[in-house]
Structure 1
């Protein structure tokens, strides 16, 4: 088991946003975290990466809880946030070097992988550029390169398709598939449900801070006795029913 989220209650200050959220992400699996704005996706991710501590419940990554060994827990995670976070005073090259240092990666072994990623996302001639020189999409590609050059056992990608051109989206999905095949667990939050339906192995559907359903697409269809329903149809039906309760 890679990631196990068990009965998490959490939020900001003392106000609970998440209500007994539970799910798993196994090695070699892509799980889609699906929900409308305000459903609790970002709050869930912030708990998993350690920015928030749960009021109750537990989060375990390969047998390690963050309060047991914070450094080792976080070293297992690579995160691509929805909004790129770059240091204005550092070049692209320096961002990559900083990432290598943070994860304890040997430069001579990591640079070949980094150069391949840079070439894939057409950034290989921009190593000396600063964030001010990049478009939003290019900044997102920098974050992707930094995350995917690590040996992280859990990759978290939060709304990764915003700002990316169609070719970059295709390249990112190929990278996710490669990492899955190598045994990496991947948690992806997205609003692009047709893409999620095509690529994700399982789904966790959130609404109002609660898990409304989880499982494969076939399992979600069987639960609703709707064998031809799309992921979009399933989520909208559950979200509307939740609002009516």
Structure 2
């Protein structure tokens, strides 16, 4: 039996010990699985991701990536994941190519592998003529593409992706989704947060719905539809019904 690539157990935490944002959150992502993390603004999605990334320390609970915690083996833990943030964060005086090379070196990617991946990604996201441009001269959508390309050049076991569609044009969104499906078919695991439910409904294997910092339901679309008594309804309608009912 396969072990989860990401396993979150009874996670509680936030910005204030007296008022935690997250309450006993439990999430698993298996090898080759794409899981959609959805919720209203303030539900705890970004806080959950910050805990996974090690930017916040849990008040309670444990997070394991690739079978280990940050405390037990920091290098293995961090080397097994890559993050695509909601807002692009780049070095203004570095080119697109330099960003990719820097990321590849940080993850120990072989030069030959890097060159193949960089060529594939630049073509996929139509950034071939921007590879030697400084990031300060790029549009917001192009900066987002660079962040995505950096994450994908590394090929870790787990991708944490937060609202990746913001700023992307329709072709960019389609390219990103197609490439995520390719990575998933190769065994990569993806935890994806997005408000565009009508899109991710067709791509994610399972969904986790956060509300007021708690997991109110999780499972396949069919499973959460049955749990909500809304068989055959789209994800968007099920989600609205659950959060408007005030379940927590």
TM-score band by shorter chain is: over 0.9
**How much does 1:129 deviate?**
0.7
Matched, 1:55 2:32: no
**How much does 1:108 deviate?**
2.4
Q: What TM-score results when the alignment is normalised by the length of structure 2? A: 0.95
**How much does 1:126 deviate?**
1.4
CA distances 1:96-133 after superposition (whole Å, capped 9, x unpaired): 11101111112222111111100111111212211111
Tell me the C-alpha RMSD between the 2 structures. 1.1
**How much does 1:147 deviate?**
0.6
Match of 1:126 among 125, 130, 135: 130
* Counterpart position of 2:15: 12
Gaps of 5+ in 1: none
**How much does 1:13 deviate?**
3.6
Match of 2:104 among 78, 81, 100: 100
What CA distance in whole angstroms lies between the structure 2 residues aligned with 1:113 and 1:131?
Answer: 20
Gaps of 5+ in 2: none
* Counterpart position of 2:80: 76
CA distances 1:31-83 after superposition (whole Å, capped 9, x unpaired): 00001100000000111111111001001112111111112101100111100
Match of 2:41 among 30, 33, 37: 37
What CA distance in whole angstroms lies between the structure 2 residues aligned with 1:240 and 1:66?
Answer: 37
Give matches, 1:1-245, under 5 Å. 1-14=4-17, 15-242=19-246
Worse-superposed segment, 230-239 or 211-220: 230-239
What CA distance in whole angstroms lies between the structure 1 residues aligned with 2:182 and 2:11?
Answer: 30
**How much does 1:227 deviate?**
1.1
- Count how many residue pairs are aligned between Structure 1 and Structure 2: 244
| Matched position secondary structure for 1:38 | coil
* Misfit runs of 4+, over 3 Å: none
**How much does 1:225 deviate?**
2.1
What CA distance in whole angstroms lies between the structure 2 residues aligned with 1:165 and 1:151?
Answer: 24
CA distances 1:115-171 after superposition (whole Å, capped 9, x unpaired): 110011111121221111100000010011111111200011110111100011111
Worse-superposed segment, 110-119 or 33-42: 110-119
**How much does 1:236 deviate?**
1.2
CA distances 1:192-245 after superposition (whole Å, capped 9, x unpaired): 0001111111000001100011000100111122212221111111112227x7
What CA distance in whole angstroms lies between the structure 2 residues aligned with 1:230 and 1:2?
Answer: 28
